[in-house]
Amino acid sequence: MMVWGYVGSTAGTNCIIVPFLVLPPLMEWIRVSVAHAEHRRSFSVDSDDVRQAARLLLPGVDCEPRQLKTDDCFCASRKLDAASTEAKFLQDLGFRMLNCGRTDLVKQAVNLLGPDGINSMSEQGMTPLMYACVRGDEAMVQMLLDAGADINSEVPNTVHKHPSVYPETRQGTPLTFAVSHGHVPVVQLLLDARANVEGSLQDGMENYTETPLQLASAAGNFELVSLLLERGADPMVGTMYRNGISTAPQGDMNSYSLAAAHGHRNVFRKLLSQTEKGKGDVLSLEEILAEGTEEERGLGERSPSQLDLVRTGKAKLKALREAMYHSSEHGHVDITIDIRSLGVPWTLHTWLESLRTCFLQHRRPLIQGLLKEFSCIEEEEYTQELITHGLPLLFQILRASKNEVISQQLSVIFTQCYGPYPIPKLTEIKRKQTSRLDPHFLNNKEMSDVTFLVEGKPFYAHKVLLFTASNRFKSLLANRPAAENTCIEISHVKYNIFMLVMQYLYCGGTEHLHIRNTEIMELLSAAKFFQLEALQRHCEIICSKNINTETCVEIYNHTKFLDAPDLASYIEGYFLKNMVVLIELEPFKALLYDMPPDSPTSDILLDLEKTLAIRIQSIHLSSSKGSIV
């Protein structure tokens, strides 16, 4: 459940499972988990080892740091000579005396620790001050500081001298441990003693471990966050993550992103209220966004201090975009909306994830607000994600919610996605007939060798023409007795429609046909039955020209019944392009929502989704954009 996130799917289909954007391979999980087990001197991996591996491999996963216990502070002696074993034993004894919490034993314990005295490190790379901060022992912390303990000592990165260093504690300082375990009085004491508020971070260096403010933000400790901000902690500092695959796959996880990813809204707002260090006059979000649009015009005229101010503003905007991404990914819509209200632009991904969360939580007012915001997304954001995840979600909302406001908003979105270009036209099929007779022979009894009985009336024709016209006529004429004149009954086609079919065959095309609007659907049905593709396409083109808001639903129902996919796709395009108007009409509403399951148009929403996906692919994603028109 930490790794996989379920996203909504249309009714009746399986859920789509989407992994993390950069999911570590199984061997990396095993390697990191085993490393944690080895540091515990354990022969088996437990669930806590896996959770700690998740903290390193999956940035943003809400797993607390491993709690250090007293027994964890000391390890079994390795193969050492007698003198080293004695020194190791005395050092372990000194650490145990300090960890018992008795301040009266500090002097004796320090004498046992070895040449480094009060700043000696255990095999875990931790000093007595760090252990006291882990326990939250305020009196012991004060005593150790008075005895000269290094307040900014760090857990070393290397394991040569300290083989049992936990990966997540590397570069940790006493302040880091006090914050990660939530000991506010100890943090206050350390800050008063001039501890580095940024932990082990040095100016100008890349940061590969969380600062105290990042830890407090991720934990949602409002009191600690406020205290650290007052002492000058910078919420813009981020952490570069290294997981064996890539570095910082989603950018720096700074305090904004961590608070947003873990859903700590009050902490996030507190971070927002903090001005940058050393900046008395900071740009608002609106000014930051305005600066981005005026960059080309004004950069050459700015002073160095103004340029520095703009860069600071852009850095904050980038940080808020990252936070917006992480809050939407973890389903904290309220924080996402807060960031959006500051003027931070939507990306398609953050918008979709926020909409999905609101839909799953049945938050109708927020759904309406998000749908209204779709127009703010630039067309450059229309990626494959819109087709694979966006359209199924939008049509699922349309299917599930019959709210008029939401339906109207979705109609606007579908029309916008379909674009302003014309609907792709149907084109005539130019097919040369292999046989042709003079129109004089049409329904001429003389020299005819086949008779059709249509509505009780005879119609005279010639096998030589019909046999090559289509496979349907060929099958009708096959296996007939070799008589002088064969009679075939046609029971489901009207006489005038059959006349038009024969006129098309004898004249060799559609140029001389005079088709009334009342006959077009029946002629389309006949052309479909007799497998005359060119005539069928000609009828479809005439139908497409007759489509309007009043006739489109009726024509579409006939089209689906006759199984004419090209004409159906054209009408679906008409629906999408004019959906804002059509959604107000009762016949169209009935088509969307009230069709019986056995109706040919029962999957109208799925058909509309496919048509719109093809359109978006052609206009926005193909190498030759707009080729559909």
The pLDDT value recorded for residue 204 is 53
Q: β-pairing, 16-18 with 486-490?
A: unpaired
Label residue 489 exposed, middle or buried (CB < 10 Å: 0-12, 13-18, 19+): exposed
The pLDDT value recorded for residue 296 is 39
Tokens of 323: 């936070």
The pLDDT value recorded for residue 73 is 45
The pLDDT value recorded for residue 72 is 46
Among all chains, which residue has been given the structure tokens 């145990």? 96
The pLDDT value recorded for residue 309 is 38
Distance between CA 262 and CA 264 in Å, rounded?
Answer: 6
DSSP 358-406: HHHTT-HHHHHHHHHGGGGS-GGG--HHIIIIIHHHHHHHHHH---HHH
User: φ and ψ at 171, to 5 degrees?
Assistant: 65, 15
Which tens digit of pLDDT belongs to each residue from 447-505? Answer: 788 888 998 899 988 888 888 888 888 888 886 665 556 688 888 899 999 999 988 88
The pLDDT value recorded for residue 588 is 92
Q: What is the mean pLDDT of each run of 10 residues along the chain (629 residues)?
A: 39 44 77 80 78 79 64 49 72 72 72 76 83 87 87 79 70 89 92 89 66 91 94 84 48 83 92 63 49 43 44 76 92 93 91 94 93 91 91 93 90 93 88 66 81 89 84 81 71 91 85 86 92 90 92 92 92 94 92 76 86 91 55
Distance between CA 170 and CA 39 in Å, rounded?
Answer: 13
Distance between CA 272 and CA 501 in Å, rounded?
Answer: 75
Q: Are 453 and 487 in contact (CB under 8 A)?
A: yes
The pLDDT value recorded for residue 237 is 83
Residue 92: C-alpha distances to residues 38, 75, 154, 483, 555 (Å) = 20, 9, 20, 115, 88
**What angle in degrees, to the nearest 10, is found between the helix axes of 533-545 and 565-577?**
20
Tokens of 584: 């107000």
Specify the 3-state DSSP secondary structure of 18. Answer: strand
Tokens of 316: 């904050």
Which tens digit of pLDDT belongs to each residue from 260-308? Answer: 999 999 999 999 887 654 444 444 444 545 544 444 344 344 444 444 4
The pLDDT value recorded for residue 21 is 55
Q: β-pairing, 450-454 with 486-490?
A: parallel
The pLDDT value recorded for residue 303 is 46
The boundaries of every CATH 3.30.710.10 domain in the chain are 434-508
The CATH number of the domain covering residues in 434-508: 3.30.710.10
CB-facing half-sphere around the CA of 152: CA atoms within 13 A: 13
The pLDDT value recorded for residue 185 is 94
Q: Are 191 and 197 in contact (CB under 8 A)?
A: yes
- Side chain identity at 412, as an amino acid letter? V
Q: Are 156 and 162 in contact (CB under 8 A)?
A: yes
Tokens of 84: 């080293």
Tokens of 18: 């989407």
Let me know how many helices (H) and strands (E) the chain has, helices first: 31, 5
